[in-house]
Amino acid sequence: MGLRTVVVGTGSCIPPRRVANEELAGREFFGPDGRRIDKPGDQVVAQFQSITGIRERRWAGDDQVASDLAVLAARDALDSSGVDPESLDALIVAHNFGDVRHGTRNSDLVPALASRVKAQLKITAPRTAAFDLIFGCPGWLQGVLQCDAMIRAGDAKRALVIGAETLSRVSDPHDRDSLIYADGAGAVILEAREGEAGILGHAVRSDAIDHSTMLTMGPSYKDEVFLEAIFLKMEGRKLYRYALQTVAGAIADALERSGVALADVKKVLIHQANGKMDEAILQALYEREGRTPPADVMPMTIGWLGNSSVATVPTLLDLLLKGRLEGHSAGAGDVLVLASVGAGMNVNAAVYRLP
């Protein structure tokens, strides 16, 4: 049967600061051409909510950075697992911007966030390799797959994988697309175990030549402010089309490689980027088999948490497994699909059976 990678603990950090759409309605919004959008702010955010499903998002405290959120999520996962942190063979932090302090636009990447987390957790074991992974929004899941490969190769027995981001620090306040961005962190403890539970298979793809510019860094759309600052910029419509063309296929590939039928999937956990986009991806997945998605197959948090990039999927997983998502549950033997899409452009999907 061989070794499989099993999740033995989950954790998350959901920042307490709630930022409702109404709080952002007083902003001036501009288009990529630098022209002011000729609509009142309340109409802009109302249209945004109807498209994305986002009513509010969470922002980190002014005294927090991404590595702080990562530590909180890691401690939650360690507590839920009962694992001794000194027994970890790997500690991976997935992110895209490092630590960006409140009031600045600078990414602090040295030392690696994983090193900072290891230090804050007071892990002394030299064998606990601590490193960062940058893979766009799918970074956390890619870190899980990296650890899965290490476990199956016999190079690791236990690992901690965290996704942490503070997108509120790199978003242009004058770009309506930036309204999707949020802060947060999620984490899992992975362990090598014999049995039928664990990661059953996965699929990954990267499309850089024609798609790498759909998420980039650029100046504010209001050209007389933040003259030297750059912000995360997104070609939203192109990204939406790309996701619809690729994510369902990646999930189908992962299921085929796992030997699991779509009908046997209990829950589909998709990166929380856009509510309507995720619903369309799910519809496309089931339409491949001429089926309609079950009403309760896809839990969502984007409406109240927004898009925290690498943190959305592990946070979803944590809330699901701890029974904190109303109307959703999962237990031993259930099969979950985890999938994400983001800058690169990168897509990944994994099939997981709960122990």
Which residues form the catalytic set?
137, 271, 307
Q: How far apart are CA 57 and CA 181, in angstroms?
A: 7
Residues 6+ apart with CB under 8 A from 64: 15, 166
Task: Judge whether 222 and 246 are in contact, CB under 8 Å.
Answer: no
Q: How far apart are CA 163 and CA 132, in angstroms?
A: 10
Q: 44: part of which helix (H) or strand (E)? A: helix 41-52
Q: How far apart are CA 305 and CA 183, in angstroms?
A: 8
DSSP state of 263: G
Residues 6+ apart with CB under 8 A from 46: 21
Q: How far apart are CA 149 and CA 5, in angstroms?
A: 9
How buried is residue 84: exposed, middle or buried, by Cβ count under 10 Å (0-12/13-18/19+)?
Answer: exposed
CA–CA distances in Å: residue 255 to residues 262, 339, 354? 7, 12, 15
